[in-house]
């Protein structure tokens, strides 16, 4: 049946309801586009035939194919747009450098979109408060205390905090540090917030 | 609060000749704007004067903190306060940005079609961001799929494709200024309108659509 | 030097600084660490916590952090060696040492710039006086002065001077040799025996109390720290009872705090209570029967590794009127009527069977309806987690897990610790039983010796110092109860078990003889050192307890022979 491939694309994303980004289904997209091309060509010839030979009994199938074309277009745009939304969420979760395994699942144009989005966001944040700038990707949670206890989950080497002091982040060491300095590393999975 | 740190009582001089606000009033305004934006289904008017003033205030507080002796107990309390204000501000701006991205074609359309004297929905920076977002997304869709589609299907009307904010969703609000004759339900078949009076200080759960103008005017506060 | 005022000379010094905490791997250290962390959180003192399990770790940790930190706090490590000599720090590094290991190295005692001991000066120390071990070298200068004078023009007057000078010099040298001889003796006596002082957790609790920042959680951790010293036999019974009394005063004070309030405390709040409870390990989280079988005290008193012992146990249970079915159930599922007077009933019957000390003074905690724990439960659970030999777990991971188990919010972790502890205790009992029954404990003359061969069930568990030491103590107690040889009952015990099969090393532990009035002083530290030296055995004295070493398996026999000669 027509449009099945398109719906399958949607289903693929629907299955990953937790916001994960699966690999870009280049094959699937191509197949849908091919189907669209085939449908369009058939319609073109039918329309010509209907006009020329007055075969109005072709009109229902023309209409059907047209509906399928529209549906395919809608499905494709939905698939692509939903992926963009997931990619957008990645900027807010991981920061401006995406982990390699995520990048692997993105096609070239998505990477470009991401790059452009990053730039727009950075530009916006810089311009806040009449040029003062504010990084609104920080402070994602309401601050409960100034300092928090964090545990180092993997070796991360040296890490600088405000006044030039340096901490050595070694696996299994624990530290009591200013909260805002740790947020980024907690999101990246290097540190873990310890709640006693 | 911040009063004890700032040397001079009030520091805010708006560009538009509004009355000078104390820091406490400024933060209260920020919190109001934050809550309204958080709970409203659509993007509200931008409050960039508040944003700018708050940022100035934060800088001022940071500078004051530098001068405080290390280890003074007051310092940590004030630092917490700075962190809290910064959180509220960031959350406010994030809320707005999320809505701009979610409803981008509608937001841009609304901004384009507003009247001369009407207050703008987007700050200049937000407007630039929204336009870039629109262009970026459109370019992307074209490059990956649309240009490979049959000739008559190579455009998508984003205004139709992207859902509009649902103004009929329900919101909680608290009444700040008494209102009369607020329409709760639209006219039913028997032509009876259901209206209520909103008493000051009372709280209600009501459809957003009818009270939207009251939010902009500040007569009610979303909670 | 000893710190006089822990608040002024320690806490206020680090108040606005960043501190590196180097914590040893024993439960008392973990408890002390938690108390200190809680205080630091309160006052926003930034710190970095690094677990260390031996001298090498300590050295590495110091090197890694010396650029970033000026203040180091060492918990349960560092007191019993010349720390400055070992670490070679810069002049501005300051070390605060809270360590139960005794004797405290004399250099640490008398250094007054970089070493600050968070130890009470009267904590059973017996430090030699300064003049007995340190001597200014002024006399040396005089001597050489005179000698150089001798070289120049001799004259009659000079010659007379010389005679006097030579006599004085000879006298000085003799006095010096005498002093040095006395010094060697004093130092030998001082450093001969290794033992333990007041719990580090209790020290930090006292700090919290002085700052009026002590909470019930901190009190509970201090109690666990003290109990760890008792469970692992580090302190004498007298000291334990004295320290319990100190803790009891704090517990009363905390419990009275809420008595005046109109509303009584919610059931979820933490309550610590003094308990005169049974010496049956983990009995409230096990079945009574299993606990009796696997607790050292009861197992040794009944001699449960013999058939006769098993029969006596059945008699004992029958004597108390406890049906087997009940006693084999999970403790919580036992009939209420049995649980009600259980302690008194057991005490009465135990007296008949020669177990006069079946009850011991301790503390328990409860919060919420389900959560009741005795201090010893916590110690066993945390120790099992700390030395867990599950695959893929590094020592650092284990440290973190054990530390977490001590927080009230990590009950799951605590329960998994209790399960591990049960397994460990059963392994200990089985190993003890098999060692006694197969006569694996041999008398070598001045000491008893037992070697666990590779392939012994659960031998991996005993490649860890605390577990092996526990096994060693239980084994010695069991041996004393089972042997008829009066002389052997008074001997100390050395145990060896495989540590690293690939590297071919064994871990060796020595414990003092078993006695009711034992002062728990252990001379094996020095003995091991000397024996290793004299036979050039390849040993690693990495553990903070000097009586625990690692040895190449091939050198075992010559090492033992040297020990026998040394101690005969």
Is A187 among the domain residues? yes
Angle between helices B73-102 and B124-144 (to 10 degrees): 50
pLDDT the model gives residue B14: 45
The answer on A109 and A159 residing in a single domain is no
Cβ neighbours of residue B216 under 8 Å, at least 6 residues apart? B44, B45
Please tell me which residue of chain A has the smallest CA distance to B158: A77
Tokens for C12?
Answer: 């206020």
Is A132 among the domain residues? no
Q: Which chains touch C (3 or more CB pairs under 8 A)?
A: A, B
Phi, psi of C441 (to 5 degrees): -95, 120
pLDDT the model gives residue C537: 86
ipTM: 0.84
Q: What is the mean pLDDT of chain B?
A: 81
Structural domains of chain C sorted by starting position, each given as residue range(s) with its CATH number in brackets = 11-123 (3.90.1640.30), 269-426 (no CATH), 441-567 (3.10.310)
Strand ordering across the sheet containing B170-175: B203-207, B170-175, B220-222
pLDDT the model gives residue C380: 95
Tokens for C249?
Answer: 């005063």
- Of A54 and C86, the one with more pLDDT: C86
Q: Quick one: which of C432, C376, C403 has its CA closest to C231?
A: C376
The answer on A82 and A49 residing in a single domain is yes
pLDDT the model gives residue C243: 94
User: Lowest-pLDDT range, A116-125, B32-41, B191-200?
Assistant: B191-200
Cα dihedral angle (C53, C54, C55, C58), rounded to 10 degrees? 0
The answer on A156 and A113 residing in a single domain is no
The answer on A120 and A151 residing in a single domain is no
Please give the average per-residue pLDDT across C69-80, as a whole number: 93
Please tell me which residue of chain C has the smallest CA distance to A170: C50
SS3 B62: helix
Asked if the Cβ–Cβ distance from C16 to B76 is below 8 Å, we say: no
Residues C113 and C115: their CA atoms lie apart, in Å, by: 6
Cβ under 8 Å to B: A residues 40-99: 40, 69-70, 73-74, 76-77, 80-81, 84, 88
What percentage of chain A carries pLDDT values higher than 90? 16
Phi, psi of C98 (to 5 degrees): -120, 100
The enclosing H or E element of C539 equals strand C539-540
Neighbour tally for C39: CB within 10 Å = 20
Residue B9 has pLDDT above 50, yes or no: no
Please give the average per-residue pLDDT across A42-47, as a whole number: 87
Q: What is the mean pLDDT of chain A?
A: 86
pLDDT the model gives residue C35: 96
pLDDT the model gives residue B189: 52
Please tell me which residue of chain B has the smallest CA distance to C44: B76
B134 CB-contact burial (10 Å; exposed 0-12 / middle 13-18 / buried 19+): middle
pLDDT grade, residue B71 (50/70/90)?
Answer: low
pLDDT grade, residue B65 (50/70/90)?
Answer: confident
Determine the structural domain holding residue A114 and report its residue range: 4-127
Can you give the CATH number for the domain in which A70 is found?
1.20.58.1030
**How many residues are there in chain A?**
196
Q: Which chains touch A (3 or more CB pairs under 8 A)?
A: B, C
State which of A79, A97, A127 marks the end of a domain.
A127
The answer on A123 and A152 residing in a single domain is no
Residues B47 and B53: their CA atoms lie apart, in Å, by: 10
Q: Quick one: which of B137, C38, B150 has its CA closest to A112?
A: B137
Is A142 among the domain residues? no
pLDDT grade, residue C334 (50/70/90)?
Answer: confident
Tokens for B60?
Answer: 């001022």
Model pLDDT for residues C506-520, shown as the tens digit of each residue: 999 999 998 877 788
In this complex, which of A149, A168, A195 lies closest to C64 when CB atoms are compared?
A168
pLDDT the model gives residue C450: 93
Q: What is the mean pLDDT of chain C?
A: 88
- Of B97 and C142, the one with more pLDDT: B97
What percentage of chain B carries pLDDT values higher than 70? 84
pLDDT the model gives residue A117: 93
In this complex, which of A74, A77, A124 lies closest to B129 when CB atoms are compared?
A124
The answer on A151 and A120 residing in a single domain is no
C67 CB-contact burial (10 Å; exposed 0-12 / middle 13-18 / buried 19+): exposed
User: Lowest-pLDDT range, A163-167, C275-279, C311-315, C347-351?
Assistant: A163-167
Please give the average per-residue pLDDT across B114-125, as a whole number: 82
- Of A129 and B103, the one with more pLDDT: B103
- Of C156 and C115, the one with more pLDDT: C115
Number of domain units in chain A: 2
The answer on A104 and A75 residing in a single domain is yes
Asked if the Cβ–Cβ distance from B70 to C16 is below 8 Å, we say: yes
DSSP A24: P
Asked if the Cβ–Cβ distance from B89 to A134 is below 8 Å, we say: yes
Model pLDDT for residues A52-78, shown as the tens digit of each residue: 888 778 888 888 888 998 998 999 999
pLDDT the model gives residue B191: 52
pLDDT the model gives residue C264: 64
pLDDT the model gives residue C256: 80
pLDDT the model gives residue C455: 84
pLDDT the model gives residue B132: 93
Residue C96 has pLDDT above 80, yes or no: yes
State which of A76, A97, A127 marks the end of a domain.
A127
3-state secondary structure B42-61: CCCCCCHHHHHHHHHHHHHH
Residue B190 has pLDDT above 80, yes or no: no
Asked if the Cβ–Cβ distance from B76 to C15 is below 8 Å, we say: no
Residues C484 and C501: their CA atoms lie apart, in Å, by: 36
Asked if the Cβ–Cβ distance from C44 to B70 is below 8 Å, we say: no
Model pLDDT for residues C523-564, shown as the tens digit of each residue: 998 899 989 888 888 888 999 999 999 999 888 989 999 999
Pairing type for strands C71-75 and C101-102 reads unpaired
Asked if C394 has any chain A CB less than 8 Å from its own CB, the reply is: yes
The answer on A170 and A123 residing in a single domain is no
Pairing type for strands C71-75 and B203-207 reads unpaired
pLDDT the model gives residue C320: 87
What contacts 24+ positions apart, CB below 8 Å, involve B156-163? B156/A73, B156/A77, B158/B104, B158/B105, B158/B134, B159/B105, B159/B106, B159/B109, B161/A74, B161/A77, B161/A81, B161/B105, B162/B102, B162/B103, B162/B104, B162/B105, B162/B106, B163/B103
Longest dimension (CA), chain C: 105
Is A139 among the domain residues? no
Model pLDDT for residues C115-127, shown as the tens digit of each residue: 999 998 877 678 8
pLDDT the model gives residue B79: 85
- Of B118 and C386, the one with more pLDDT: C386
pLDDT the model gives residue C295: 93
Tokens for B154?
Answer: 């190579």
Is A170 among the domain residues? yes
DSSP state string for B73-136? HHHHHHHHHHHHHHHHHHHHHHHHHHHHHHTHHHHHHHHHT--SSSPPSS-HHHHHHHHHHHHH
Please give the average per-residue pLDDT across C221-240, as a whole number: 94
pLDDT the model gives residue C359: 92
Is A138 among the domain residues? no
pLDDT the model gives residue C282: 93
pLDDT the model gives residue B6: 43
Tokens for C287?
Answer: 């079945």
Structural domains of chain B sorted by starting position, each given as residue range(s) with its CATH number in brackets = 23-163 (1.20.58.1030), 166-222 (3.40.5.60)
Residue pair C429/C294 in contact by the 8 Å Cβ criterion: yes
pTM above 0.90, yes or no: no
Is A136 among the domain residues? no
pLDDT the model gives residue B1: 43
Can you give the CATH number for the domain in which A185 is found?
3.40.5
Alpha helix segments (H runs only) across chain A: 4-15, 26-53, 59-94, 100-103, 108-131, 179-188
Model pLDDT for residues B152-185, shown as the tens digit of each residue: 888 888 888 888 888 888 889 888 888 777 767 6
User: Lowest-pLDDT range, A144-158, A178-192, C31-45?
Assistant: A178-192
Asked if B76 has any chain C CB less than 8 Å from its own CB, the reply is: yes
Residue C355 has pLDDT above 70, yes or no: yes
Write down the residue that tokens 């008193």 correspond to. C301
Please give the average per-residue pLDDT across B204-222, as a whole number: 85
Residue C145 has pLDDT above 50, yes or no: no
Cβ neighbours of residue C235 under 8 Å, at least 6 residues apart? C196, C229, C243, C520
Residue C152 has pLDDT above 50, yes or no: no
Phi, psi of C24 (to 5 degrees): -75, 170
User: Lowest-pLDDT range, C20-34, C231-245, C478-492?
Assistant: C478-492
**What's the N-to-C CA distance of chain A in angstroms?**
58
Tokens for A168?
Answer: 């050595």
Asked if C215 has any chain A CB less than 8 Å from its own CB, the reply is: no
**Chain A residues touching C399 at Cβ < 8 A:** 172
The enclosing H or E element of B192 equals none
The enclosing H or E element of B7 equals none
pLDDT the model gives residue C86: 92
Is A49 among the domain residues? yes
Tokens for C261?
Answer: 């309030």
The answer on A99 and A159 residing in a single domain is no
Please give the average per-residue pLDDT across C176-200, as a whole number: 89
Residue B38 has pLDDT above 60, yes or no: yes
Residue pair C512/C446 in contact by the 8 Å Cβ criterion: no
The answer on A173 and A80 residing in a single domain is no
Residue B15 has pLDDT above 60, yes or no: no
- Of B213 and B10, the one with more pLDDT: B213
pLDDT the model gives residue B68: 77
The answer on A15 and A106 residing in a single domain is yes
Model pLDDT for residues C402-451, shown as the tens digit of each residue: 999 999 888 999 999 999 999 999 999 999 999 999 989 998 889 999 99
pLDDT grade, residue C148 (50/70/90)?
Answer: very low
pLDDT the model gives residue C379: 96
**Chain A residues touching B133 at Cβ < 8 A:** 117, 120
B198 to chain A nearest CA, in Å?
A: 32
What percentage of chain B carries pLDDT values higher than 90? 22
The answer on A104 and A9 residing in a single domain is yes
């Amino acid at each position: 049946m027509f449009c099945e491939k398109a719906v399958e694309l949607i289903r693929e994303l629907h299955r990953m309801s937790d916001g994960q980004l699966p690999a870009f289904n280049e094959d699937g997209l191509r197949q849908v586009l091919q189907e669209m091309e085939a449908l369009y060509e058939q319609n073109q010839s039918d329309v010509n035939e209907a006009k020329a030979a007055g075969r109005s009994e072709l009109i229902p199938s023309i209409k059907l194919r047209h509906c399928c074309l529209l549906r395919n277009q809608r499905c494709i745009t939905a698939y692509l747009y939903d992926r963009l939304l997931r990619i957008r969420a990645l900027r807010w979760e991981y920061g401006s450098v995406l982990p390699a395994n995520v990048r692997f699942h993105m096609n070239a144009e998505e990477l470009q979109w991401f790059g452009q989005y990053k730039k727009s966001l950075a530009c916006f944040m810089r311009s806040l408060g009449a040029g003062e700038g504010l990084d609104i990707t920080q402070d994602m949670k309401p601050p409960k205390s100034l300092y928090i206890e964090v545990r180092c989950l993997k070796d991360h080497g040296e890490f600088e905090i405000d006044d030039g002091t340096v901490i050595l982040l070694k696996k299994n060491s624990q530290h009591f540090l200013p909260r805002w300095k740790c947020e980024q590393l907690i999101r990246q999975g290097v540190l873990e917030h310890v709640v006693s | 609060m911040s009063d004890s740190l700032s040397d001079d009582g009030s520091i805010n001089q708006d560009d538009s000749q509004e009355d000078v606000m104390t820091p406490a009033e400024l933060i209260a305004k920020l919190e109001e704007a934050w809550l309204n934006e958080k709970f409203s289904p659509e993007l509200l008017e931008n409050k960039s004067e508040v944003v700018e003033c708050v940022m100035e205030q934060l800088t001022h507080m940071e500078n004051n903190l530098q001068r405080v002796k290390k280890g003074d107990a007051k310092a940590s309390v004030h630092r917490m306060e700075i962190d809290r204000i910064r959180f509220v501000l960031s959350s406010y701006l994030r809320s707005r940005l999320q809505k701009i991205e979610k409803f981008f074609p509608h937001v841009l359309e609304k901004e384009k079609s507003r009247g001369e004297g009407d207050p703008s929905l987007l700050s200049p920076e937000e407007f630039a961001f929204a336009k870039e977002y629109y262009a970026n997304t459109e370019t992307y869709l074209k490059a990956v799929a649309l240009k490979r589609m049959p000739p008559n299907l190579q455009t998508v009307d984003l205004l139709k494709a992207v859902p509009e904010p649902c103004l009929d969703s329900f919101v909680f609000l608290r009444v700040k200024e008494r209102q009369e004759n607020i329409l709760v339900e639209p006219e039913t078949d028997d032509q009876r309108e259901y209206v209520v009076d909103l008493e000051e200080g009372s709280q209600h759960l009501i459809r957003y659509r009818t009270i939207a103008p009251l939010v902009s005017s500040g007569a009610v506060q979303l909670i | 030097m000893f710190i006089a005022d822990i608040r002024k000379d320690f806490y206020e010094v680090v108040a606005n600084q960043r501190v590196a905490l180097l914590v040893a791997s024993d439960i008392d250290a973990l408890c002390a660490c938690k108390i200190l962390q809680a205080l630091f959180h309160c006052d926003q003192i930034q710190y970095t916590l690094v677990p260390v399990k031996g001298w090498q770790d300590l050295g590495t940790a110091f090197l890694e952090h010396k650029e970033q930190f000026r203040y180091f706090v060492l918990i349960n490590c560092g007191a019993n060696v010349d720390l400055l000599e070992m670490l070679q720090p810069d002049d501005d590094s300051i070390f605060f040492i809270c360590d139960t290991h005794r004797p405290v190295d004399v250099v640490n005692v008398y250094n007054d710039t970089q070493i600050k001991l968070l130890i009470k000066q009267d904590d059973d120390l017996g430090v030699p006086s300064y003049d007995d071990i340190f001597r200014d070298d002024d006399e040396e200068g005089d001597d050489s002065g005179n000698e150089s004078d001798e070289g120049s023009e001799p004259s009659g007057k000079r010659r007379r001077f010389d005679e006097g000078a030579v006599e004085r010099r000879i006298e000085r040298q003799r006095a010096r040799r005498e002093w040095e001889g006395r010094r060697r003796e004093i130092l030998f006596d001082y450093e001969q025996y290794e033992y333990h002082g007041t719990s580090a957790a209790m020290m930090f609790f006292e700090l919290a109390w002085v700052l009026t920042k002590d909470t019930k959680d901190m009190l509970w951790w201090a109690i666990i720290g003290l109990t760890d010293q008792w469970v692992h036999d580090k302190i004498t019974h007298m000291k334990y009872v004295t320290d319990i009394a100190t803790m009891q005063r704090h517990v009363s004070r905390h419990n009275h705090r809420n008595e005046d309030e109109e509303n009584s405390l919610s059931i979820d709040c933490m309550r610590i209570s003094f308990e005169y409870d049974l010496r049956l390990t983990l009995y409230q989280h096990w079945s009574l029967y299993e606990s009796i079988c696997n607790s050292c005290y009861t197992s040794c008193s009944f001699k449960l590794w013999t058939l006769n012992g098993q029969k006596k146990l059945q008699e004992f249970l029958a004597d108390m009127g406890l049906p087997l079915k009940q006693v084999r159930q999970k403790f919580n599922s036992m009939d209420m009527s049995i649980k009600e007077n259980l302690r008194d009933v057991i005490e009465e019957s135990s007296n008949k069977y020669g177990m006069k000390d079946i009850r011991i003074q301790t503390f328990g905690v409860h919060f919420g309806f389900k959560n009741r724990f005795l201090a010893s439960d916590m110690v066993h659970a945390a120790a099992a987690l700390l030395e867990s030999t599950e695959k893929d777990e590094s020592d650092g991971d284990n440290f973190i897990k054990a530390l977490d188990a001590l927080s009230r919010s990590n009950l799951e972790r605590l329960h998994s610790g209790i399960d591990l502890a049960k397994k460990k205790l059963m392994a200990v009992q089985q190993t003890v039983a098999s060692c006694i029954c197969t006569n694996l404990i041999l008398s070598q003359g001045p000491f008893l010796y037992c070697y666990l061969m590779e392939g012994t069930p659960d031998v991996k568990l005993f490649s860890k110092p605390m577990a092996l030491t526990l096994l060693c103590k239980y084994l010695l107690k069991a041996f004393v109860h089972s042997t008829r040889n009066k002389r052997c009952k008074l001997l100390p015990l050395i145990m060896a078990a495989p540590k690293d099969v690939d590297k071919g090393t064994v871990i060796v532990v020595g414990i003092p003889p078993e006695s009711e009035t034992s002062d728990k002083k252990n001379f094996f530290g020095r003995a091991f050192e000397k024996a290793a030296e004299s036979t050039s055995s390849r040993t690693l004295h990495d553990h903070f307890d000097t009586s625990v070493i690692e040895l190449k398996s091939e050198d075992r026999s010559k090492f033992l022979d040297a020990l026998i000669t040394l101690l005969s």
